[in-house]
Amino acid sequence: MLKRFSVSLEQKLLDRFDQFIGEQRYPNRSEAVRDLIRKALVRQEWQADKEVMGVISLVYDHHHHQLQETITELQHGFHRQIVSATHIHIDEINCLEVIIVRGKARQVQELAERLTVLRGVKDGNLAMSSTGGELH
């Protein structure tokens, strides 16, 4: 069930918020506020080391010495946190690996950090997600 509540804001802050809503293409203020609240709750879950989900993406040169083996080895060490992994050959040199992860926030972050700092990894990101504690 939807509940309503009112918010008091300084004019300047409201103007900036409306500008933000326009730039982000939110249909209205309510949708923007709901989204920002959910994002804050997801961030809190990660900080509190709750069960979370996320996506690690890596772009790397597969010719780089031992890199492919190290990436595979690391993933086997964290097999309980890995739901699935997809490998895409971008071109003759570069690969994209997308790893869907699930587990305690700290363990998932540790895996992401250990993968992204490897030499030869050109780009590494962790998209942190979760339900934000919402059951539906």
H helix and E strand count, the chain: 4, 4
Taking residues 43 to 82 in sequence order and writing x for each that binds Ni ion by CB under 5 A, - otherwise, the string is -------------------x--------------------
Looking at 89, 106, 119, 122, which residue binds Ni ion (CB under 5 A)?
89
Binding-site size, Ni ion (CB under 5 A): 3
Token pair for residue 17?
């918020």
Minimum distance between the CB of residue 78 and Ni ion, rounded to whole angstroms?
Answer: 20
Minimum distance between the CB of residue 63 and Ni ion, rounded to whole angstroms?
Answer: 10
Rounded distance, CA 50 to CA 44, Å? Answer: 9
Q: Which is nearer to Ni ion, 32 or 95 (CB)?
A: 95
Alpha helices (H) along the chain:
11-24, 29-47, 67-77, 105-116
